Amino acid sequence: MQHSPLTSRRAAIYQWFSQLLFQELSEAQLAALGSQESRAWITSLSAIPGLASDVKRFERSLTRVLQRAARAQELAADFASLFLLAPPVGVSPYAGHYPHTTPAQERRQMNALLVEQALAPRENEASDHIAIQLALMAEQVSREAPVATQYYFLQHHVLCWAPLFMASCQQRDAKGFYVLAVVMMVHFIREDAQYLQSLLMDDVNRRNH
């Protein structure tokens, strides 16, 4: 399937955030993240409205991470202390742990959506994990799911809890690598949802004329 540049870019951004937040990054993944090509791609995200300052903060944090002596081990410890410890010490990356739903309800809905896209949760990870939701959104974008479908998913499965997730992360460690990644992710998703909403409104206006 031939995608438009914008479609390919949106899918790539969702997939990138998914991979970043799914599990601890290996040394090989960190090396790739620090490559000239990857750094240029990250810098290019600053062109997205509202993301310029987020991208700069993330880039500075990434530079600090890459300069650590035992960078993979230290970053893994950061990941574990933020996402793998139970609240209130850590922050839950699972949608079902937030007020809008329950683990059983959200995972049942996510599992059904994954089946629709011929996907399955990765490595036995619960399907309401933020990384799984981002991967599903990347797949919807890549397969050019209807705009209304994409918008509904963001509003009813991601944006209903991601801002709370972000706020909890910021309370733990305002300048940490993963926290800055989450902030950048949430701001991107909000911007993308506005873009999808504008497409829906344009479609309504066309029909009315």
Confidence class for position 122, pLDDT limits 50, 70, 90: low
Q: What is the mean pLDDT of residues 75-93?
A: 96
Contacts of residue 159, Cβ cutoff 8 Å, sequence gap at least 6: 189, 190, 193
Distance, CA of 115 to CA of 138 (rounded, Å): 15
Distance, CA of 144 to CA of 8 (rounded, Å): 10
Mean predicted lDDT score pLDDT of the chain = 94
Q: Per-residue pLDDT tens for 54-83? A: 999 999 999 999 999 999 999 999 999 999
Q: Per-residue pLDDT tens for 141-196? A: 999 999 999 999 999 999 999 999 999 999 998 889 999 999 999 999 999 999 99
Confidence class for position 204, pLDDT limits 50, 70, 90: confident
Looking at per-residue pLDDT, the higher value among 107 and 122 belongs to 107
Tell me what pLDDT residue 121 has.
63
Distance, CA of 159 to CA of 20 (rounded, Å): 18
Distance, CA of 46 to CA of 96 (rounded, Å): 31
Work out the number of other CB atoms within 10 angstroms of the CB of residue 126. 16
Question: Is residue 111 within 8 Å of 104, Cβ to Cβ?
Answer: no
Residue 47 clears pLDDT 80, i.e. is over it: yes
Tell me what pLDDT residue 135 has.
96
Query: What are 73's two structure tokens?
Result: 């081990």
Query: What are 49's two structure tokens?
Result: 């409205």
Residue 21 clears pLDDT 80, i.e. is over it: yes
Query: Residue 122 in 3-state DSSP?
Result: helix
73 CB-side CA count, 13 A: 2
Domains of the chain: 5-90+100-204 (1.10.3480)
Q: Measured in whole angstroms, how far is the alpha carbon of residue 136 from the centre of its chain?
A: 10
Q: Measured in whole angstroms, how far is the alpha carbon of residue 127 from the centre of its chain?
A: 14
**Which residue reads 């955030």 in tokens?**
17
Q: Which pTM was predicted?
A: 0.94
Residue 10 clears pLDDT 90, i.e. is over it: yes
Residue 39 clears pLDDT 90, i.e. is over it: yes
Residue 1 clears pLDDT 70, i.e. is over it: no
